């Protein structure tokens, strides 16, 4: 049996585009004399559709789409994900389903059993879990069809009381097929391979896995669809971060000695780089925007954001605005200009002192006798934000936010100032990871000026300001933040790891008391296992550790 894996970049609610892409891939499969072509989870509507699933018109379009696709399935069968109606009056209204399409019709429906309801997932909000698992009998091959999470309840830590494959294996399948929408984080690709291989080793059945690729606001899908033969060896692996289409012969999957030689390299910083570029590209493309703007300070965060934006959108679609103040150093201005010239990016220099002085004059009767403090620092940041937003309105740019995860975690940023924007590019990268990615960018040549990387980080909002005046060294800060945010370690556990007790208490208090700021920031491209945003839900007014 010849099976095609179709890895497609879907667009949520863009039925015309999604259906057209699926039908085109079915045509390709026919031309290559395939027996079956496999698509990803909820491919008709895109993932995650979220509360679009509460609209009957949206569901009608999903149903019409799957029936339109079915008509194309003559001479080749297909497996396509879509939300189907639960006919039972009890339970949720929908199933997360996979349709087996054959001979121009929906031959059978197979529903997802295990519905993730953690981190970025909220499937139990919409779907009823399936309680029955059935085999597809196609051309003498018995196929155990599952959907994403259905294969993840394996190993030592199991979130669910049973595994759907335990039911399916009793029906003596020859092949497992899993269709998925598995969001990217820098650990996910390796973790996913390990989970899928465990299933093959447990059930001694070959596996075909098809994943989404492309970005949907915060979530980035890395693709990496694959086939594993019966003894757990990788047979074929599709590209990461791009659409792909490959075929496998069922007989190849049974050849225990066969292993491909081009298994994709999994390197954390390389993955993060590719994910962020795709995240920017799809955010703009799927919203119908093309041009980005950002404030370029000469520091490492804005420098890195500019490089990534240029890679995603092209230098002709990116603009930088330099907005020096009386506190800006000349080397920061020079570094910003050098970077813009290195990238051939259009830039403007708009000094903010005249505007800042007008604010001082206006506020002086009310601030009379009060010393310069964070108020005046924030005024500068908000002036810059107003100027940047003026360009977005006048010329149709989208403002890219340049704050990193370390700053967002402890509230080291100005609300409605440097925290504003349409998309946060670095908001899931700790400062130390920003440095790693900057070095990765410069691995072959100096694109980001060396001075932007090696100089002590500073907001330059007051004389001789340095980040370490307010925060611990980032090498220490980021380790504490990682252990608290990603690993959910308690203060006593952090202290037992050797961190200073006073610093731990201070940092954790800053994280929790600045939740209100993070609720008002732009969507953050998710690259870690625990990002700020939809996957980390904390109360704003909570007292715990604050």
Ordered by where they begin, the domains of the chain are 2-261 (3.60.110.10), 271-467 (3.40.50.620)
Separation between Cα atoms, residue 19 and residue 215, nearest integer Å = 18
3-state secondary structure 253-265: HCCCCCCCCCCCC
- At residue 254, the pLDDT reads 56
Tokens of 524: 């953050």
* pLDDT tens for each residue of 213-272: 999 999 999 999 999 999 899 999 999 999 999 999 976 555 544 445 456 677 999 999
Q: If the chain, 546 residues long, is cut into consecutive pieces of 10 residues, what is the mean pLDDT of each piece?
A: 97 98 98 98 98 98 98 98 95 97 98 97 96 93 97 91 94 97 96 96 96 98 96 93 94 51 77 98 98 97 98 98 92 95 98 96 94 94 98 98 97 96 98 97 96 86 81 95 97 97 96 96 97 95 89
- At residue 262, the pLDDT reads 59
Angle at 57 between CA 53 and CA 59, to 5 degrees: 45
Q: How many CB atoms lie within 10 A of CB 83?
A: 23
Tokens of 16: 């015309």
- 3-class state of residue 411 by DSSP: coil
- At residue 261, the pLDDT reads 47
| Residues 145, 171 contacting (CB under 8 angstroms) | no
| Residues 5, 238 contacting (CB under 8 angstroms) | yes
Distances 91 to 60, 129, 146, 213 between C-alpha atoms, Å: 20, 9, 21, 31
- At residue 260, the pLDDT reads 53
**Which residues have a catalytic role annotated?**
41, 112, 148
The alpha carbon torsion through 249, 254, 256, 262 (nearest 10 deg) reads 20
| Residues 406, 431 contacting (CB under 8 angstroms) | yes
């Amino acid at each position: 049996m010849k099976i095609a894996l179709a890895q497609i970049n879907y667009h949520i609610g863009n039925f015309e585009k999604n259906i057209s892409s699926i039908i085109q891939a079915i045509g390709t499969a026919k031309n290559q004399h395939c027996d079956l072509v496999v698509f990803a989870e909820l491919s008709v509507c895109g993932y995650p559709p979220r509360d679009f699933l509460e609209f009957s018109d949206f569901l009608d379009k999903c149903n019409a789409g799957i029936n339109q696709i079915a008509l194309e399935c003559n001479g080749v069968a297909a497996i396509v994900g879509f939300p189907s109606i639960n006919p039972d009056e009890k339970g949720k209204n929908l199933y997360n389903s996979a349709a087996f399409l054959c001979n121009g019709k929906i031959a059978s429906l197979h529903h997802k059993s295990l519905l993730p309801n953690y981190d970025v997932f909220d499937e139990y909000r919409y779907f009823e879990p399936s309680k029955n698992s059935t085999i597809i009998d196609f051309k003498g091959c018995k196929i155990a069809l599952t959907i994403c999470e259905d294969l993840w309840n394996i190993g030592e830590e199991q979130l669910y009381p049973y595994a759907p494959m335990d039911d399916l294996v009793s029906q003596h399948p020859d092949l497992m097929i899993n269709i998925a929408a598995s969001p990217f984080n820098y650990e996910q690709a390796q973790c996913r391979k390990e989970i899928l291989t465990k299933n093959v080793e447990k059930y001694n059945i070959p596996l075909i896995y098809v994943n989404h690729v492309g970005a949907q606001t915060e979530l980035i899908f890395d693709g990496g669809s694959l086939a594993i033969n019966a003894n757990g060896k990788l047979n074929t692996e599709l590209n990461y971060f791009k659409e792909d289409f490959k075929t496998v012969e069922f007989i190849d999957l049974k050849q225990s000695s066969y292993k491909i030689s081009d298994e994709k390299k999994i390197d954390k910083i390389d993955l993060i780089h590719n994910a962020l570029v795709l995240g920017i590209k799809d955010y703009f493309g799927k919203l119908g925007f093309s041009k980005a703007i950002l404030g370029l300070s000469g520091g490492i965060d804005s420098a890195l954001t500019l490089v990534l934006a240029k890679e995603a959108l092209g230098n002709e679609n990116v603009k930088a605005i330099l907005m020096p103040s009386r506190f800006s150093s000349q080397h920061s201005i020079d570094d910003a200009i050098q970077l813009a010239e290195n990238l051939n990016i259009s830039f403007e220099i708009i000094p903010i002192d005249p505007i800042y002085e007008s604010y001082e004059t206006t506020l002086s009767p009310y601030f009379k006798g009060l010393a310069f403090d964070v108020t005046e620092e924030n005024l500068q940041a908000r002036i810059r934000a107003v100027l940047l937003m003026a360009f977005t309105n006048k010329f149709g740019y989208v403002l890219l936010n340049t704050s990193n995860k370390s700053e967002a975690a402890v509230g080291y940023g100005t609300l409605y100032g440097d925290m504003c924007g349409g998309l946060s590019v670095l908001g899931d990268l700790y400062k130390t990871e920003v440095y790693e990615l900057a070095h990765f960018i410069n691995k072959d040549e100096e694109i980001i000026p060396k001075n932007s990387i090696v100089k002590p980080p500073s907001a330059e909002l007051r004389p001789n300001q340095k980040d370490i005046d307010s925060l611990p060294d980032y090498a220490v800060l980021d380790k504490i933040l990682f252990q608290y945010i990603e690993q959910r370690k308690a203060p006593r556990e952090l202290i037992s790891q050797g961190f200073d007790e006073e610093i731990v208490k201070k940092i954790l208090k800053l994280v929790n008391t600045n939740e209100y700021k993070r609720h008002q920031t732009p969507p953050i491209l998710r690259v870690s296992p625990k990002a700020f945003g939809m996957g980390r839900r904390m109360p704003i007014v909570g007292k715990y550790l604050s």
